[in-house]
Structure 1
Amino acid sequence: MHDIRSIRDNPAAFDAGLGRRGLQPAAAGIVALDERRRALLTEIQAGLARRNEASKAIGAAKARKDEATAQALMAEVSALKERLPAIEAEEKGIADELGGRLASLPNLPLGDVPAGADENDNALVHERGSRPDFAFAVKEHDAIGPALGLDFETGAMLAGSRFTFVRGSAARLHRALGQFMLDTLTADHGYEETVVPLMVRDEVMFGTGQLPKFAEDSFQTTDGRWLIPTSEVSLTNTVREQILSEEALPLRFTALSPCFRSEAGAAGRDTRGYIRQHQFEKVEMVSIVTPETSDDEHERMTACAEDILTKLGLAFRRMKLCTGDMGFSAARTYDLEVWLPGQGRYREISSCSTCTDFQARRMNARYRPEGEKATRFVHTLNGSGLAVGRTVVAVVENYQQEDGSVAVPEVLQPYLRGLNRLERISAS
């Protein structure tokens, strides 16, 4: 959500930010609605004050037996009682329209975000790790995976497209990766482990920006709750409608949870394999911080995700997303893309964003700086640490062996009771 006062004070800057997002100017219409609403509020306040004043004057007029004045005052009060509800209804309608317009507009990009239309305009920050060399023809994960337990056919039979039944070696690898990610983030980087609700209310989805604009991208239950598309939704909203003390910040949470996405805009993309699923697991990082520390926190969070990839021995690169490729709530986003030798290209495995105070305003999440009476909005950040299914894909492709087995990265072997190789579970 945007600060209406900042739009009033600098409409040109607001429109310039929208323009960088590829959107048309909106400040003039927003300011006009706000001015009309404020005028109506002033009229309501004046009317209420006059009604109270006139009501008191009626008694005084009757006490001195001035019936003419009393009748005039009674007529004025009656007219105000009739008029005020209409003004209040108009003000509410304008407030709702204003709120709807503000809620539909994305966060403004920070100044260092590169301009661009889509992923082709993203900027390379750095590359890390070494791509593996193979003495044989490498395969993609969907060719290797079925023999290890990535059962795409059974998943589709049970639930339809973009669902996978995972068993055997692949299931063990999946479990090991999730636990390794959680252990790394909690033990090495100070995140607090959590278990989150997987279904949330409308206002919780609104708080992080999924509603109202992106309802079709999520699944809704029969009782009106929403299946979370990421545990960012649950974790970030833990501070909604609260005033935190400055000393309580930063808050850093992590969770391994199932995630559910309709992939409404992904028709025809990644229809094969385990890259894009309706149901998947992800380890999420969320930070709640003061505005002064949010830029440093963004770097810290992204480095935490990079540390997991480094420990797994996977080659990756960090990309700074351009204005046309960022998510709705983000003010700056770093994507981590892992090298997939089977596909011969980098693919996204983590996305780390700072949302500045955009989500905090939607949630009314504030803190009180030490020694001050006034409150400020917190800054919120979120990132993947990592998407578990995509990491399974990365491990399978990067550690594949000529005989169809997959070597286990050393850091994962303790989670697999020392197992150093995932063997085929079938001859298929």
Structure 2
Amino acid sequence: MVYNKDYTVRICRKETISAALPLQEHWLSLSNLDLLLPPLDVGVFFIYTKPPLELKQSFSSSFSSLVNVLKTSLAKSLVIYYPFAGEIVNNSMGEPELRCNNRGVEFIEAFGDAEIIELDFYDADQSFERKLVPKKKDGVLTIQATEMKCGGMVIGCTFDHRVADAYSFNMFLLSWSETSLGKPISTIPSFRRSLLSPRRPPHSEASLDRLYIPVSQLPPPTAPSSNIINRIYYVTAANINRLQQKAVSSQSTKLEAFTAYLWKLVGRAAGRKQRTHMGVVVDGRRRLGLLAMMDAYFGNVLSIPYASATDVEEMEMSEIAERVHTLVAEAAREEHFKGLVDWVEVRRPEAAVAKVYVEEGLSVVVSSGRGFPVGAVEFGWGKPLFGSYHFAWNGNAGYVMPMPSVKGNGDWMVYAHLSTELVGILEADGIFHPITAHYLGLK
């Protein structure tokens, strides 16, 4: 396969999509857990092959018709998911706050001078970054619909992480899809910030002082590394099961076993002298004892516990998996998340961040994207061929996100934002396979 790495994307049109119904302008505060996020944008994209000439729906298969469906259903979805049509503004305390003013979502129409089969699905830097995944300039959300030379389409979205985590954005994607298909919205989001209110008086465990750090205590900033690259792999179901079997003595989940294995490879890249840090993103929605209400909560409900080691490459998989299991278990508690809310409250208005991102040594964070609804984001012309999150930030810490394969066969797709050295070690090990057009079923 010859990839078209130098293809260009031409912007054809830009417009602003606002909510379909008038909205009362108001302010929505960010929760204490939202305030742990710096100004950071997250991308996500979906690739669709050329739709059939005759669609069951009452619209044609032309690109303009498909885009009209996207824009019309987006406007309807923003009535409910109105934070995405707002903007972030600092309040009198200097803290970010969401102004829900229906300023709208920037919607970009573009043309990509390549066929889908010519895309290098593995090399996210060449194929997707700033081409099919848009750069957000203002507001909370930017969306780009790109027509490819073969008649297929790529839908890319970039959103402000301070407003939503992946769980929240997944809810929006499903609702947007359901609206376009004329279905009732399955999940009405909750913006009830009182669910994450601090206690009176606030109190927190001492362990949080190790996991989070106020901005005033951060070490001097270092220049972004030039050798960080973005890659997308697949890991077969058989290999995932094999990793879990190696960690069976710790009763680890598949994600914990995968994280342990990745940490071992990070240790190989670091050598004996350099300290390594492995973090895991833990979602607190099911930890707060308010399951019925938190299931639909819109916002960030995340914590990033981590552990450190200098000799991790020499450890047995079961021992590493036990460490990962322990750090996840310690964070996956109601008290941990309530304490984290209180920890932030005591230090406001000073901002704070997860400490794993600024530790000396080699740091990698694993975030579970296994709830990514890639197969369900359908707008009327078929399921996506492929989809992935895209977290190409400027930090020097690595970031890895496993997601379900579009094949539905138990394989994982793995987005990786890592150093070139670590990427080389991953690829030499034989577990991580580059995503290819052949794997996706393209000929």
TM-score bracket, normalised by the shorter chain, equals: under 0.3
| Bigger strand share | 2
TM-score with structure 2 setting the length: 0.24
Instruction: Specify which structure has the bigger relative contact order, considering alpha-carbon pairs within 8 angstroms and separated by 6 or more residues.
Output: 2
Which structure shows the bigger proportion of residues in helix conformation?
1
